[in-house]
Chains A and B, each alone.
Chain A
Amino acid sequence: MKRILQSVLFVMLLLGGMSACTEELDFNQFDDLEATPTYEAGILYLEAQEDLINLISGTNVFSQNFNFDAFSSDIFADRVLDGTITFVVENTTSKELAITVELLDEADTVTDTEIFSIEPAPTAIIQREIAYGDSGRSIDIIKTLSTIRVTATNLGDNTSVSTLPDPLITLKSSGKFRLRVK
């Protein structure tokens, strides 16, 4: 019996010694969590062949509005902090061209304009990054973006033909934006 009592005492001491304690935790740290991922993706690709340009009399090759609601949707507009849009314009035609990209809000008000005047091939590539947010233009331009208007103007002739294969003018663009998820 004495051994049993000793054993019980031992177990109680063991359990007592093992009684749980915990160091201080601060769950309010969660409020400090900042989740601001940066996402990137293609936006708009546009191309026009040189023979199309030559077919059009006058300087206005085309002007087209493209609906683009990706940035004005709540899931994006409510969270976007800043970012950049990268444009690459490449001209392999034989004529100088001007590409105007305008960003319009839902009321069709032009909120931003970017003009690319590009020389004929073979040296005609322009890359431009436009920043929006604290270090650039107003991020509201992005948040309210509803339409992208692209206008191409022929600053050259309507007859010359590039010696390069498949001559065309292309506009490439991508966006890289930082969002506040938390």
Chain B
Amino acid sequence: MRIPKILFLTLLWVCTGTLAQNKQLLYDFTEIPQSLLINPGVQTDFKWYAGVPGISGLSFQAGSSGVSAYDLFAADGIDFNTKVRDRLLGGMTTRDELSGTQQIELLNVGFRSNDPNVFYSFGIYNESDAIGYWFQDYAILAIEGNADRLNQRFDLGDLKTRGEMMNVFHFGVNKKMNNKLTVGGRAKIYSSILDFNSTRNKGFFVTRPGQNNLLSSTFNADMKWRTSGINALKAAENEEDIPGTILKRGFFGGNLGLGIDLGLTYQLNKQTVFTASLLDLGFIYHSNDVENYTLKGDVTTEGVEVILPQDVLDPNRDFWQDLVDNIEEIVPFENNFNNYITFRPTKLYASLRYNWGEQALRGADCDCGPYVTSSNRVPKFVNGVGGQLYMINRPRGPQAAITAFYQRRFGNIMAVKATYTADKFTYTNIGFGLNLQAGPVNLYLMADNLLAYRNIADSRYASFQLGLNIISWGKK
């Protein structure tokens, strides 16, 4: 069997990396409306804003904690098989992962209430998220086999992956409680388009010296692969109607879930700010187009075993078929259509910022055009420096990242943020974000792990975000 290249690369992608969701550049970047999606309790001073549909918030992130494309495919003269053995089989562990996330905003609108301390925002965005951990023992079995590995257990739990695509409908409320505290919350309805997960597999395969025969093989499995929406998309592919099916399932025609985001900003003193947010505390109930697969049982075989004379009383007995049937009976591979629940990968952010420097110019003082009125923007310090913490719940437990940042404002037309982030992917992640305000038009661009751009193929982590909004500060 020849494994198609695309399948290999997909497996590599799924199984060697992690797609992180950290948006450390956007977090608490209060000039950008999308910061409300990462902390609903952020300090806002907009009168209203509207994202440009489709391009108000684009973000793509991909990361691999194991190998990069360059590690494997560099034209370095090293035999490819050597690289696979040394860098994949020998260089990675089951904690190495590959993951990716993309978000595309379809609608994002915010407006201030009659109560000037309350700001509402709502919208729709499409999100895809996938993660796969390196399946070390499966790879050893596939590339090297089980020979000469007596008593070595191949852990079936090494298969640990999940992925999903959904539309998220959200409505958030942000309220300034007093001069120190701003809180916010966001309710979410998830409309799942597709989901797959196989994260709680247990079991092993081991070859031992046999009791009777030379070798015995034991297969102990408790494995599940759950899916929803996959069959609908397969059918749509046959009918050449994938966009229609995605659209239908993404707008309440698939599986639904509920979630909330919570956040706050607390002014410790005039210049020091603490923020925190908890995102995607929610679940999706899968009952539509569900198909699950299970493999469960415990069997040991030493091959065809014949004890004379009793085993040959039936001259027509098919020992081989009996063995196969017996194994399939003890360890059945089955499918079912049982409903299931998945929990969203919950994220936690927190930051501490120290601000200083002269206050930024108010809108009245800048040459921002007729749409920006004069008196509603909250004066902000020019400089900000601080640290951020990010955590996300993943199938092998929480992952964390720490970030140091410096933010600088240039009047009301530009703000920049530089970050240094350390996480499992890289210790040299320097990011840069740029926010431009031209009249009512707001444009932001952010990129991560910039040092790796010297050789993007060797990067183990990359993210990119951009957005275009129309913002008004109006009058309070």
Show the binding face of A for B, using Cβ within 8 Å: 3-4, 7-8, 11, 14-15, 18-27, 29-35, 37-49, 52, 62, 64, 66-70, 75, 78-79, 86, 88, 170, 172-174, 176, 178-179, 181-182
Q: Are B301 and A33 in contact (CB under 8 A)?
A: no
Q: Are A42 and B3 in contact (CB under 8 A)?
A: no
Known: A32-B80, A40-B148. 18 other contacts (CB 8 A): A7-B410, A11-B434, A20-B453, A22-B70, A24-B74, A25-B70, A33-B80, A37-B143, A37-B147, A38-B146, A39-B147, A43-B303, A45-B303, A46-B305, A52-B308, A66-B306, A67-B320, A78-B1
Interface residues of B in 405-463 (CB under 8 A from A): 408, 410-411, 413-414, 416, 432, 434, 447, 450, 453-458
Q: Is the interface of A mostly helix, strand, loop or mixed?
A: mixed
Q: Are B73 and A4 in contact (CB under 8 A)?
A: no
Q: Are A23 and B455 in contact (CB under 8 A)?
A: yes
Question: Which chain A residue shows the least CB distance to B72?
Answer: A29
Question: Which chain B residue shows the least CB distance to A74?
Answer: B1
B84, B216, B304, B408: most-surrounded residue (chain A CB, <10 A): B304
The 9 closest A-B pairs by CB, nearest first: A37-B145, A42-B303, A38-B147, A45-B213, A42-B213, A48-B308, A29-B80, A174-B214, A20-B453
Alpha-carbon distance between A87 and B62 when the two chains are bound, in angstroms: 52
Residues from chain A with Cβ under 8 Å of B319 in the complex: 66-68
Q: Are A182 and B306 in contact (CB under 8 A)?
A: no
For residue A25, give the distance in angstroms from its CB to the closest CB of chain B.
4
Q: Are B84 and A33 in contact (CB under 8 A)?
A: yes
- Interface size on B, as a range, is 35 or more
For residue A66, give the distance in angstroms from its CB to the closest CB of chain B.
5
Q: Are A32 and B81 in contact (CB under 8 A)?
A: yes
Q: B210 in the interface, Cβ–Cβ < 8 Å?
A: yes
For residue A16, give the distance in angstroms from its CB to the closest CB of chain B.
11
Q: Are B458 and A38 in contact (CB under 8 A)?
A: no
For residue B210, give the distance in angstroms from its CB to the closest CB of chain A.
6
Residues from chain B with Cβ under 8 Å of A30 in the complex: 5, 8-9, 73, 80
Q: Are B214 and A88 in contact (CB under 8 A)?
A: yes
Q: B341 in the interface, Cβ–Cβ < 8 Å?
A: no
Residues from chain B with Cβ under 8 Å of A170 in the complex: 212
Q: Are A40 and B147 in contact (CB under 8 A)?
A: yes
Question: Which chain B residue shows the least CB distance to A56?
Answer: B309
Q: Are B320 and A68 in contact (CB under 8 A)?
A: yes
Query: Would you mind naming 8 contact pairs between A and B with Cβ atoms under 8 Å apart?
Result: A15-B432, A29-B72, A30-B8, A30-B9, A30-B80, A33-B80, A35-B143, A42-B215
Q: Are B213 and A174 in contact (CB under 8 A)?
A: yes
Residues from chain B with Cβ under 8 Å of A172 in the complex: 210, 212-214
Residues from chain A with Cβ under 8 Å of B75 in the complex: 23-26
Show the binding face of B for A, using Cβ within 8 Å: 1-3, 5, 8-9, 69-70, 72-75, 79-81, 84, 141-148, 207, 210, 212-217, 301-309, 312, 318-321, 408, 410-411, 413-414, 416, 432, 434, 447, 450, 453-458
For residue A110, give the distance in angstroms from its CB to the closest CB of chain B.
18
Alpha-carbon distance between A68 and B301 when the two chains are bound, in angstroms: 15
For residue B395, give the distance in angstroms from its CB to the closest CB of chain A.
27
Question: Which chain B residue shows the least CB distance to A61?
Answer: B308
Other-chain residue from A3, A86, A173 in contact with B410 (beta carbon distance below 8 A): A3
Alpha-carbon distance between A86 and B434 when the two chains are bound, in angstroms: 69
Residues from chain A with Cβ under 8 Å of B456 in the complex: 20-22
Alpha-carbon distance between A179 and B307 when the two chains are bound, in angstroms: 31
Q: Are A4 and B414 in contact (CB under 8 A)?
A: yes
Residues from chain B with Cβ under 8 Å of A68 in the complex: 304, 319-320
Alpha-carbon distance between A119 and B144 when the two chains are bound, in angstroms: 39
Residues from chain B with Cβ under 8 Å of A41 in the complex: 207, 215, 217, 301, 303
Residues from chain A with Cβ under 8 Å of B301 in the complex: 41-42
For residue A109, give the distance in angstroms from its CB to the closest CB of chain B.
18
Other-chain residue from A18, A75, A173 in contact with B453 (beta carbon distance below 8 A): A18
Other-chain residue from A11, A22, A37 in contact with B457 (beta carbon distance below 8 A): A22
Other-chain residue from A7, A34, A35 in contact with B142 (beta carbon distance below 8 A): A35
Other-chain residue from A7, A21, A26, A45 in contact with B306 (beta carbon distance below 8 A): A45
Alpha-carbon distance between A14 and B453 when the two chains are bound, in angstroms: 12
Alpha-carbon distance between A45 and B453 when the two chains are bound, in angstroms: 60
Residues from chain B with Cβ under 8 Å of A19 in the complex: 453
Alpha-carbon distance between A162 and B141 when the two chains are bound, in angstroms: 44
Alpha-carbon distance between A33 and B72 when the two chains are bound, in angstroms: 11
Question: Which chain B residue shows the least CB distance to A170?
Answer: B212
Other-chain residue from A38, A70, A178, A181 in contact with B320 (beta carbon distance below 8 A): A70
Q: Are A174 and B215 in contact (CB under 8 A)?
A: yes
For residue B291, give the distance in angstroms from its CB to the closest CB of chain A.
24
Q: Are A42 and B306 in contact (CB under 8 A)?
A: no
Q: Are B453 and A62 in contact (CB under 8 A)?
A: no
Q: Are A47 and B306 in contact (CB under 8 A)?
A: yes
Alpha-carbon distance between A182 and B408 when the two chains are bound, in angstroms: 54
Question: Which chain A residue shows the least CB distance to B305?
Answer: A45
Alpha-carbon distance between A62 and B79 when the two chains are bound, in angstroms: 54
Residues from chain A with Cβ under 8 Å of B434 in the complex: 11
Residues from chain A with Cβ under 8 Å of B216 in the complex: 42
Residues from chain B with Cβ under 8 Å of A176 in the complex: 147
Alpha-carbon distance between A178 and B141 when the two chains are bound, in angstroms: 12
Alpha-carbon distance between A35 and B215 when the two chains are bound, in angstroms: 24
Alpha-carbon distance between A148 and B185 when the two chains are bound, in angstroms: 71
Residues from chain A with Cβ under 8 Å of B432 in the complex: 11, 14-15, 18
Residues from chain B with Cβ under 8 Å of A25 in the complex: 69-70, 73-75, 457
